[in-house]
């Protein structure tokens, strides 16, 4: 009786281990063998044959084993980027003999978390408005000063001096206009209309619109669309604005460079589509990269510092997210990840 209950329990545990959507592996540290791997663990590591053995798992998941005290290693959560996936895992030591490791695929979760984070920080609208007040306040103050000096001295100033003051005021006014134009794209935030967008056609049309301007600045633009990508799920107006913002930044970054190129690459990544805008422009330092999405962060004399923040917001509205990689003096690549559309639609 006891025996068969035990048996039943064991086979129950075994089938739980097999069906659970957590990877489980157990390593025997005495014999240096992998003594258990469940189905999910095999799936996670399947692309790489021969990876699932004792030595490989230790060097992949437990790099500090043997060099750090065990209590600093076990029972802690780790993450690992592995073949396009983001894995979270926790190793445990049992009975001084066995290491068992639970592995979770957190790719999707971390994507949704970063979307939520972006939405939260963008929704801090008062922060944005205080920035806008500041940005508009400066030029308006300076216009006021210029005009009052001019008014006080109108009878004494020569026509040339008057013109100088008027010009100064005009310059500030165009700064205000520029800011207002930049803010205009806020209005399309209200209600995204998500639909299937045939990405290759979309890019052909988009590039036709910007090509002339870019050519005038000596920039070559091209696209490469993966054959397995057809539709993405997006609001075409937002997508247009997003690409325009990224292309504008790329073209600014290319200003003093040779052999200026912008490439838009589209590749499938699981059930997402990655659109990568690459330039071989000036690139950015690590410090600059840390500030990119902050409103009003700009390194340009005529910049607003709103472009990337608005871009991120728009990408987020389309349930996507965004990543920037840049190397100083080499170039920048901006990846936006957008959900795939319905196939063959
Ligand atoms: N492709 C790029 N290459 C180099 N630097 C970039 C690129 N894109 C953005 N940046 C940096 O990020 C800053 C913020 O960009 P953005 O938010 O679009 O504002 P703006 O273009 O008005 O400065 C830029 O001033 C620039 O320093
Ligand atoms: Mg910009």
DSSP string, 111-165: HHHHHHHHHHHHT-HHHHHHHHHHHHHHHHHHHHHHHHHHHHTTTTS-HHHHHHH
Q: What is the pLDDT of residue 130?
A: 65
Q: What is the pLDDT of residue 250?
A: 97
Distance 344 CA to ligand 1 centre (A): 36
End-to-end CA distance of the chain: 60
Choose the residue to mutate in 250, 252, 260 for probing ligand 1, maximizing ligand atoms within 8 Å of C-beta.
252
Buried b (16+ CB within 10 A) or exposed e, 120-153: ebbeeeeebeebbeebeeebeeebeebeeebeee
**CATH number of the domain at 2-105, please?**
3.30.450.20
Closest atom of ligand 1 to 182 CA is 22
Start and end residues for every CATH 3.30.450.20 domain found in the chain: 2-105
Give the helix ranges, DSSP H, for 231-292: 236-253, 286-291
Query: In this predicted model, which residue has the larger pLDDT, 321 or 133?
Result: 321
Q: Is 250 touching ligand 1 by the criterion CB < 6 Å?
A: yes
Tell me the pLDDT tens digit for each residue of 61-110: 998 898 989 889 999 999 888 877 888 999 999 888 999 999 998 887 77
Q: Whose CA is nearest to atom 9 of ligand 1?
A: 249
Q: Is 281 touching ligand 1 by the criterion CB < 6 Å?
A: yes
* β 261-269/220-225 pair status: parallel
Choose the residue to mutate in 298, 304, 325 for probing ligand 1, maximizing ligand atoms within 8 Å of C-beta.
298
- Third-level CATH fold of 115-339: Heat Shock Protein 90 (3.30.565)
Q: Is 307 touching ligand 1 by the criterion CB < 6 Å?
A: yes
- Work out the pLDDT band at 21, boundaries 50, 70, 90: confident
Q: What percent of the chain has pLDDT over 70?
A: 87
Task: Kindly tell me if the per-residue pLDDT of 242 is higher than 50.
Answer: yes
Distance 229 CA to ligand 2 centre (A): 28
Start and end residues for every CATH 3.30.565.10 domain found in the chain: 115-339
Tell me the pLDDT tens digit for each residue of 129-181: 666 777 788 889 999 999 999 999 999 999 999 999 999 999 889 888 877 77
Q: What is the pLDDT of residue 203?
A: 97
Note every long-range contact of 28-31, with CB atoms under 8 Å and residues 24 or more positions apart, other chains counting: 28/54, 28/97, 28/98, 29/96, 29/97, 29/98, 29/99, 30/97
> What integer is the mean pLDDT of 204-215?
93
Q: Whose CA is nearest to atom 13 of ligand 1?
A: 298
Distance 307 CA to ligand 2 centre (A): 4
Q: Is 322 touching ligand 1 by the criterion CB < 6 Å?
A: no
Q: Is 253 touching ligand 1 by the criterion CB < 6 Å?
A: yes
Q: Is 304 touching ligand 1 by the criterion CB < 6 Å?
A: yes
Cβ(237)–Cβ(226) below 8 Å: no
Tell me the pLDDT tens digit for each residue of 287-318: 889 989 887 788 987 777 888 988 898 899 89
Closest atom of ligand 1 to 245 CA is 18
Tell me the pLDDT tens digit for each residue of 247-284: 999 999 999 999 999 999 999 998 899 999 999 999 99
Q: What is the pLDDT of residue 345?
A: 44
Q: Is 298 touching ligand 1 by the criterion CB < 6 Å?
A: yes
Q: What is the pLDDT of residue 251?
A: 96
- Work out the pLDDT band at 1, boundaries 50, 70, 90: very low
Q: What is the pLDDT of residue 50?
A: 66
């Amino acid at each position: 009786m006891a025996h068969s209950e035990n048996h039943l329990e064991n086979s129950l545990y075994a089938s739980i281990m097999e069906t659970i959507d957590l990877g489980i592996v157990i390593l025997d540290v005495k014999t240096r063998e992998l003594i258990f791997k469940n189905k999910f663990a095999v799936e996670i590591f399947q692309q790489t044959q021969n990876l699932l053995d004792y030595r490989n798992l230790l060097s992949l998941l437990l790099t500090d084993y043997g060099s750090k005290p065990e209590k600093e290693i076990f029972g802690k959560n780790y993450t690992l980027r592995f073949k396009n996936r983001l894995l979270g895992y926790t190793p445990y030591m049992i009975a001084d003999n066995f290491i068992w490791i639970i592995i979770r695929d957190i790719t999707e979760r971390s994507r949704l978390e970063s979307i939520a984070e972006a939405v939260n920080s963008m929704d801090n609208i008062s922060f944005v408005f205080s920035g806008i007040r500041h940005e508009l306040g400066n030029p308006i103050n300076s216009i006021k000063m210029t005009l009052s000096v001019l008014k006080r001295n109108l009878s004494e100033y020569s026509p040339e001096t008057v013109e100088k003051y008027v010009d100064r005021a005009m310059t500030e006014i165009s700064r205000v206009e520029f800011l207002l134009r930049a803010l205009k794209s806020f209005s399309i935030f209200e209600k995204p209309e998500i639909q299937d967008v045939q990405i290759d056609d979309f890019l052909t049309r988009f590039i036709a619109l910007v090509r002339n301007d870019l050519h005038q600045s000596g920039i070559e633009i091209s696209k490469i669309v993966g054959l397995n990508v057809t539709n993405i799920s997006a609001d075409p107006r937002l997508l247009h604005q997003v690409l325009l913002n990224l292309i504008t930044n790329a073209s600014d970054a290319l200003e003093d460079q040779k052999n200026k190129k912008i490439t838009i690459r589209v590749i499938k990544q699981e059930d997402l589509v990655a659109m990568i805008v690459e330039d071989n422009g000036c690139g950015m330092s690590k410090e600059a990269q840390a500030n990119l999405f902050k409103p009003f962060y700009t390194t340009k004399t005529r910049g607003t510092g709103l472009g990337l923040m608005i871009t991120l917001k728009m990408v987020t509205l389309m349930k996507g997210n965004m990543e920037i990689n840049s190397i100083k003096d080499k170039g920048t690549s901006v990846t936006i990840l957008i959900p795939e559309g319905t196939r063959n639609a």
